[in-house]
Amino acid sequence: MSYLVVGISHRSADISVLERAALDPDTATKLALAVQRTPAVAESAVLATCNRTEVYANVDRFHAGMDEVTAILAEITGVPLLDLAEHLYVHFEEGAVAHLFEVAVGLDSMVVGESQILGQVKESLRVGQDLETIGTDLNALFQHALRVGKRARTETGIDSAGRSVVSAGLDAVAGPIGGLTGRRALVVGAGSMASLAAQTLAAQGAAHVVVANRNLERAEVLAERVGGTAIPLAAVPAVLAESDVVVSCTGARGIVLTEEMVRTASAGRPFGVLDVALPRDVSPEAGRLPGVTLVTLADLAGTAGGTDSDIAEVRRIVGEETLAFEATRRAASVTPTVVALRTMASGLVETELARLDRRLPDLDDSQREEVARTIRRVVDKVLHTPTVRVKELAADPGGPKYAEALRELFALDPAAVDAVTNPVRKTGGEPG
């Protein structure tokens, strides 16, 4: 089985395309389940953020896996495959490993080094585990990616500024309106991005924070956390006119703040709007209104959260960890061969002991046990060195060839090796 990544992000497509491929949590779940049920895929996970939609899979065939994943991605997002294909990127095996590690450390983020992505990777792992679409192989990959992300943040200053898409966006909005201190703020939405926005606004001295959401109870929970006020979504137009800055980050599929709403609220005064939703919440035309500063995800691409030396060091860590992970995989890949060899040897021993019983029926139990121990000890000693060495050699690039040589030398049955690798073959249906 091999790792495969198929995705679309801010690096491969502009916002107009990304918002068409954006997934809410329920749709991301549907995608993970649909991918995992296809014949070429054994495991799957979906990483869906404000600037990426990625499918991670464990596949037995590259082309079949890629075709199945891309077809399902097009079907579930509703973006025609021909339109989607030109913006998709594909990573396989070591490239897939390195890509997830780069994502986890924030090198692939809009705001390089941003702090949210590690939590999003962790959440993707949790969801996949709950759905049982993630098995042993993807679990190992995601767990290692989380460790790489933590290491990068511990050993470098990649996120020393605590940068995120929200904080970078608020910095961009703050200048034209004279800063955030003392400003009246409105946050539309109550999810993780909205929570970060509300807390950032409060920390930067906003005079008051109002939280609007369709679910008023969720808005109240967030508002209480920052000492603000909660309102229903229907009350946004009225409160908008009383605000100086608004952050919108809902999961709506259509425009939440229209040009007319922003024009009426701003009335030509300095007015900041940060739209970090995907699909976008704010009409693009609002950014052309007098006094209005509209910052979107597209404006934040490439923002740095660390120094050049930090970024270079993080790249070194990613390279080092990718090599280490691949070495561990190669070493583990020979285990089925070693198990099959020892199983074959054990079978031969038992066959010979049975033959000895027939040839020498007069041996007493003590003698019979001593002979059995001696034969097993000899076989273990003969096999010890080659099995230990093949594991050591397998960790190096090109190492799997030693396992192939072992299988050839001992004429191991491929079916026996495969039975160790895949004790239960997937036959389709519900994951389990």
DSSP 255-278: -SB-HHHHHHHHTTS-EEEEE--S
Each residue's pLDDT, cut to its tens digit, for the chain (432 residues) gives: 899 999 999 999 988 888 889 898 999 999 999 999 999 999 999 999 888 999 999 999 999 999 999 999 999 999 999 999 999 999 999 999 999 999 999 999 888 888 789 999 999 999 999 999 999 999 999 999 999 999 999 999 887 655 678 888 999 999 999 999 999 999 999 988 899 999 999 999 999 999 999 999 999 999 999 999 999 999 999 999 999 999 999 988 889 999 999 999 999 999 999 999 888 899 999 999 999 999 998 888 766 566 788 889 999 999 999 999 988 887 777 777 778 878 888 888 889 888 888 888 888 888 889 988 898 899 888 888 877 877 777 767 766 677 777 778 778 777 766 666 555 444 333 333
- Please count the residues of the chain: 432
Q: Could you count the other beta carbons within 10 Å of the beta carbon of residue 393?
A: 18
What does the pLDDT read at residue 67? 95
Verify whether residue 249 is a known catalytic residue. Answer: no
Burial of 146 (0-12, 13-18, 19+ CB in 10 A): middle
Q: Give the span between the Cα atoms of 80 and 328, in whole angstroms.
A: 39
CA angle 9, 14, 15 (to 5 degrees): 90
Residue 240 is predicted with a pLDDT of 95
- Cis peptide bond prior to 176, omega within 30° of 0: no
Among residues 6, 13, 50, 231, the one annotated as catalytic is 50
Cβ 57 vs Cβ 44: under 8 Å: yes
For domain 2-162, the CATH superfamily is: Glutamyl-tRNA reductase, N-terminal domain (3.30.460.30)
Burial class, 124, CB count within 10 angstroms (exposed 0-12 / middle 13-18 / buried 19+): buried
User: Would you list the domain boundaries of the chain?
Assistant: 2-162, 165-303, 330-421
- Per CATH, which fold does 165-303 belong to? Rossmann fold (3.40.50)
Q: Give dist(CA 314, CA 158) in Å, integer.
A: 7
The predicted pLDDT at position 310 comes to 87
Contact 16, 4 (CB under 8 A): no
Q: Which of 96, 109, 99 is CA-nearest to residue 43?
A: 96
Of 333, 345, 326, 347, which is closest to residue 404 (Cα–Cα)?
333
The token pair that represents 129 in the structure block: 């585990």
Task: Say if CB 276 and CB 297 are below 8 A apart.
Answer: yes
